[in-house]
Structures are given as structure tokens and as C-alpha cells.
Amino acid sequence: MITRQSLRNTVRQLRRELPAETQRQAALSLVPHFEQHPLIRRARRVALYLASDGELDTREAIAWCWQHDIAVCLPVLHPFSKGHLLFVDFTPTTPMSSNRFGIPEPELNCQHIISKASIDILFTPLVAFDQLGNRLGMGGGFYDRTLSSWHHHRLGPYPIGLAHDCQQVEQIPVESWDVPLPEILTPARRWHWPA
């Protein structure tokens, strides 16, 4: 069976090689998914992320949320708790900086930290997924830790993965800490695995 790391390397290369126009169309294609999704339309606050490394660009989706009075927060690397994320309010005027991975994130301001209980939907990036909803991340475990209470007790924000269609693989080698997703949105379709 293919190893997780070789699968990660292969799919990351695939998405990085997507032409700019394909990336632009993929970002636009997310918006109809948001418009038609009952949970997203009812959400008051969602957690999104800013794309890097060829990930599906979320800027159009973020703009749609703002237009529909849905508050947006972004992940920030926790400064003291290694491997954990905080979520911070994000608006068009939020001061930004790059984290240690070179990914833009809001500057950490304690007054703008959002509790996970206040987030309705948490959109997660991923490297690869399979037809069972298994998700392969970058390997840091940030989102697996963030989603562990949802995975074990169905507590916290509802998770939805975002990915390019080329990130679907036949099978992901699963580890005990992996959190499968109930939904994944790609430019072409909505994948849904009822819990």
C-alpha cells in the first residue's frame, strides 16, 4: 500500500501544478455550493482558511460569507500550545502577518479570539481524501486535534473539507487519530457521508 507521505507528496504536486485559470474557476465554483447548502446559509459564523501550496482558494467564499452577514474567522497557530490552533475574527481590515509556515494569518489579538463553541462550521483544508470521507492533512495534526471533540462526541463546529477534484484518491491509509469528514466540497460536487 502507498505510504501516507508519498501520497501527500504526489497530491500536493498535482494541486500545485494546476494552472492559474483552473484555480480561479475552482474558487468561483465554491460559491454556488455555499449558496445551495442549508447549513452554510443558516450559519452565523464560520471558520475558513487562506489557501497556500495550491489549496483551493477560499477568497471568493469568504467574500460571499461577508455579503451574507456570516462572520468569518481564520486559524492562527497557538503561540504556547504546540500543534493547536486558535481562531480569530477576520474582516477586510484585519491586520495580517505570516506564520512560521509562511501562511497569512490574523495578528493575534486576545480580544478577537473566537471560541470553538461559537463557530457553526469549520472548513478544513486537506491534501487528499477518499470516497469514505477519510482526510489526509499536511501531517501536523492541527485539524485532527481541533476536530477531536466533534469526532468523538459530535461537539463543536460541523466540519466540511474543501479540496480540488484532483485531490480525491482511491484509498487513504488511516491512522487512529485521523478524523473522517462528514462532507467535502470540491469544484465539481458535494460529497456527503451522513453520520
Q: What is the CATH number of the domain that holds 149?
A: 3.40.50.10420
Domain that holds residue 95: 4-186
- What is the reported pLDDT for 175? 82
Is 153 inside a domain boundary? yes
Query: From CA 110, how far away is CA 160, in angstroms rounded?
Result: 26
Is 193 inside a domain boundary? no
- Segment 61-108, tens digit of pLDDT: 999 999 999 999 999 988 787 778 999 999 999 999 988 888 899 998
What proportion of the chain, given as a percentage, has pLDDT over 70?
96
- Write the DSSP string, 101-134: TS-EEEPP-GGGEE-GGG-SEEEE--SEE-TT--
Beta bridge partners of 89: 73
- What is the reported pLDDT for 4? 85
H helix intervals, the chain? 4-16, 20-36, 38-42, 59-67, 142-146, 148-153
pLDDT band at 195 (very low <50, low <70, confident <90, very high): low
Is 67 inside a domain boundary? yes
- What is the reported pLDDT for 24? 96
* Cβ proximity of 64 and 33 under 8 Å: no
Confidence check: pLDDT of 166 > 90 = yes
Is 194 inside a domain boundary? no
Is 116 inside a domain boundary? yes
Tell me the angle at which helices 59-67 and 20-36 cross, rounded to the nearest 10 degrees: 30
Count up the domains in the chain and report the number.
Answer: 1
Is 73 inside a domain boundary? yes
81: three-class secondary structure by DSSP: coil
- What is the reported pLDDT for 43? 97
End-to-end CA, the chain? 27
pLDDT band at 194 (very low <50, low <70, confident <90, very high): confident
Is 192 inside a domain boundary? no
- What is the reported pLDDT for 84? 85
User: Higher model confidence: residue 126 or residue 147?
Assistant: 126
